[in-house]
Structure 1
Amino acid sequence: MHSFDVFHHYERKHWRLADVPWHEVRKDLVRPEYVTMAKSAVMGEANSIAAQHGFLNEFDDYDFSAFVAIWGYEELQHHFAFRTWLNAVGAEVKPAAVEAMREPYDPGSTPCATLATNIISELTVNHIYRAVAAWVEEPVLRGIMSSASIDEAGHAREFLHFARKRLEAHPEELPSVLETLHVYTGEQRIKHPVGVFKSELVALKDHETIDTAFEMFLEQVATTGELEKLQDNIRRAFASLTGMDVSSNARVRRRLAEALAA
Structure 2
Amino acid sequence: MHSYDVFTQYERNHWKLTDIDFSAVDKDKVKPEYVTIAKSAVMGESNVIAAVHGFLNEFVDDYDFSTFAVVWGNQEVQHHYMFKAWLDAIGEKVDDAAVVAMRAPYDPGITPSATLATNIISELTVNHIYRRVAGAVDEPVLHTLLLNASRDEAGHAREFIHYCKERLLRHPEETASVLETLYVYTSDKRIKHPVGIFKSELTELEDHETIDTAFELFLESIADADELLELQGKIRKVFGGIVNMDLSSNGKVRRALAEVIAA
What TM-score bracket applies, with the shorter chain setting the length?
over 0.9
1:123 and 2:124 equivalent? yes
Aligned counterpart, 1:208:
209
Q: Deviations over 1:4-40 (max 9, x none)?
A: 1001111122111110121210000000000000000
Aligned counterpart, 1:50:
50
Determine the C-alpha separation between the residues in 1 that align with 2:250 and 2:152. Answer: 28
Alignment of 1:50-69 (within 5 A): 50-59=50-59, 60-69=61-70
Aligned counterpart, 1:194:
195
Aligned counterpart, 1:135:
136
Aligned counterpart, 1:2:
2
Aligned to 2:103, what secondary structure does the other structure show?
coil
1:41 and 2:38 equivalent? no
Determine the C-alpha separation between the residues in 1 that align with 2:107 and 2:212. Answer: 20
Alignment of 1:156-235 (within 5 A): 156-235=157-236
Give the drift of 1:169.
Answer: 0.4
Q: Deviations over 1:88-144 (max 9, x none)?
A: 011100000000010111110000000000000000000000001000000000000
Aligned to 1:238, what secondary structure does the other structure show?
helix
Aligned to 1:156, what secondary structure does the other structure show?
helix
Determine the C-alpha separation between the residues in 1 that align with 2:218 and 2:68. Answer: 30
Q: Deviations over 1:143-191 (max 9, x none)?
A: 0000000000000000000000000000000000000000000011100
The residue identity in structure 2 corresponding to 1:3 is S
Determine the C-alpha separation between the residues in 2 that align with 1:223 and 1:12. Answer: 36
Aligned counterpart, 1:82:
83
Aligned residues: 262
Residues 211-220 or 9-18, more deviating: 9-18
Determine the C-alpha separation between the residues in 2 that align with 1:192 and 1:45. Answer: 12
Q: Deviations over 1:183-240 (max 9, x none)?
A: 0000111000000001100000000000000000000011121101111110111011
The residue identity in structure 1 corresponding to 2:46 is A
Determine the C-alpha separation between the residues in 2 that align with 1:192 and 1:226. Answer: 16
Alignment of 1:3-42 (within 5 A): 3-42=3-42
Aligned to 1:246, what secondary structure does the other structure show?
coil
Percent sequence identity over aligned pairs: 66
Runs of at least 5 residues in structure 1 that lack an aligned partner in the other structure: none
RMSD value over aligned CA atoms?
0.5
The residue identity in structure 2 corresponding to 1:50 is A
Q: Deviations over 1:41-89 (max 9, x none)?
A: 0000000000000000000211101100100000000000000000001
Runs of 4 or more off by more than 2 Å in structure 1? none
The residue identity in structure 2 corresponding to 1:17 is L
Determine the C-alpha separation between the residues in 2 that align with 1:228 and 1:201. Answer: 29
Aligned counterpart, 1:250:
251
Give the drift of 1:261.
Answer: 1.1
The alignment's TM-score, normalised by the length of structure 2, stands at: 0.99
